[in-house]
Amino acid sequence: MINTLLELKEVSYVNKNNFTLKNISLKIKSGEKIALLGKSGAGKTTLISILNGTIKPNKGKVKLFNTEFDKLNLYQKSKISTIWQDLRLIEDLSAEQNVNCGLLGKRSFLFAFKNLLNISSFKKAHQYMKVCNLQKSIFSKNIRKISGGQKQRVAIARSLIQESDILLADEPFNNLDPKITLNIKNLLLINKNKIKVPNTTLVSLHRLDLLNDFNRIIGMKYGEILFDLEKTKLKKSHLNMIY
């Protein structure tokens, strides 16, 4: 039997900026590789924010490991990691310090303190940075001083180092060149490296040429899920519905 890791039950959300989700029900099972499609403003980012517990829905329930979000402890919550569309890195820290921040869920206060003083071990951070195609020369560089694509990979490394069970990624291939895009996609979906990568992944994206390694596709428009099907069943008519 396949476990349900994340579940949304009749979730609706309206905020002051009118980003809305209308009555969404969704189950994410262990091992699924889900692509989330939709035009800009369709509600993909809002859905991801609800899935990781950052925003609370106005209506409906969100469950992780069959437990409501409010009742989860920190350890359980740390089983979800997110790559944000706007990256949300700490600008005044270096790339490796930012990646090490991903370990905060598993380490003590002393680790956080040493990381900020730049005296903690960066061995693990460097390992993850390398698989994200980041060169050694940028490891200790300040986030402000690196390019958009490098920042994107730092954010990816930060979320992977969490070694979570579920990865939610909001347009993670932005700013990346075609070769690196392919590498990162392979890393997230068919990991052949020695590092641990989440087994379950939901990725919001715009590029249809990157859909081949996903096994489930969800299409959204105006805050509603218009289709939710296996990759093999995706037809052009489905795409016409959302674009």
Contact residues for other proteins (CB under 8 A)? 52-54, 74-75, 77-78, 80-82, 84, 86, 88-93, 101-102, 104-105, 107-109, 111-113, 115-119, 162
Q: 65 or 222: whose CB is closer to other proteins?
A: 65
Using the minimum distance from each CB to other proteins, give the nearer residue, 54 or 147.
54
- Please identify, using beta-carbon distances, which residue of 132 and 234 lies nearer to other proteins: 132
CA–CA distance, 162 with 177 (Å, rounded to integer): 25
Smallest gap from Cβ 60 to other proteins, in A, equals 20
The structure tokens 């940028």 sit at 138
Cβ 67 to other proteins, closest distance in Å? Answer: 14
Q: Indicate the residue among 118 and 186 with the shorter CB distance to other proteins.
A: 118
- Closest contact distance (angstroms) between CB of 106 and other proteins is 8
C-beta of 12: minimal distance to other proteins in Å?
21
33 backbone dihedrals φ, ψ, rounded to 5°: -120, 105
**Cα(225)–Cα(22) distance, integer angstroms:** 8
